[in-house]
Amino acid sequence: MSPRCTHAFAIAALALLIAPAARALDSDGDGADDILDNCTLVANPDQRDTDGDRYGNACDADLDNNLRVNFSDLGLLKAVFFTNDPDADFNGDGVVNFRDLGLIKSQFFGAPGPSGRADPPTYTADVQPIFFVKCDFCHTGKGYGGHNIGINYEDAFLPADNLPECAGLLVGQCTIIAIQEGRMPPGDICTGDPARDAGNPDCLTRDEQDTVQAWIDAGMPE
């Protein structure tokens, strides 16, 4: 094991004894971490988003999807009042009624959300900095495993043929699997469990893992 790995392993062992477990932020307590929650301030465990705009129905009275709740949206709600229109049924009770009208009232002249999924993480702004640090130096120039995802966005779309668990996946999609299985970084430095790896600078935190997962879920945007 290299001196860097030995040092990191020692830090991790000490951290298990003295450091509190890392915890992801879940502002509304609905079980969805903020970075993946389509309504970060309104509890919606089902994450229902019938119009697919990345804002959950529970905080999305923007029926015309212009990012502003106003009289246009009120008119659209009125047109489907007492129906089972899925987009206007904000609370998911199966009918558009005065409870849904109340949500429009609470958001009037405002914006839908907030949502952790409305603006998904990108490679350049969010994911590449993580890979550059945590995948150094294997995938920032050495090309181990056939890719340099720490510096080349295009490598995220190479076939992931180095792990049996990733058969049929792309390199970018495989990263979270390798990370959570404790395969990356190599050398038994990390377990893949952020709580157990707390304090080890070579390992991904819960928030970093959530960022990578959200990037993958969004289609790995650049």
Q: How far apart are CA 206 and CA 216, in angstroms?
A: 15
Lowest mean pLDDT among 77-81, 110-114, 170-174, 181-185: 181-185
Residues 129 and 71 in one domain: no
Please provide the distance, in angstroms rounded to a whole number, between the alpha carbons at the two ends of the chain. Answer: 34
pLDDT tens by residue, 122-134:
999 999 999 999 9
Confirm if 87 and 71 have CB atoms less than 8 A apart.
no
State which amino acid sits at residue 192.
Answer: G
Of 115, 137, 161, the one marking the end of a domain is: 115
Residue 14 banded pLDDT, cuts 50, 70, 90: very low
Q: Is residue 166 part of a domain?
A: yes
Question: The CATH number of the domain where 81 resides is what?
Answer: 1.10.1330.10
CB atoms within 10 A of CB 133: 14
Task: Return the structure tokens found at 99.
Answer: 């409870």
Residue 187 pLDDT more than 90? Answer: no
Sequence-distant (≥ 6) Cβ neighbours of residue 157 within 8 angstroms: 170, 171, 172, 220
> What DSSP string describes 57-102?
GGG---TT-SS--SHHHHHHHHHTTTS--TTT-TT-SSS--HHHHH
Identify which of 100, 122, 107, 98 has the alpha carbon closest to the alpha carbon of residue 50.
Answer: 100
Supply the range of the domain harboring residue 51: 38-115
pTM to 2 decimal places: 0.57
Do residue 61 and residue 147 come from a single domain?
no
- Read off the tokens for 180: 């959570």
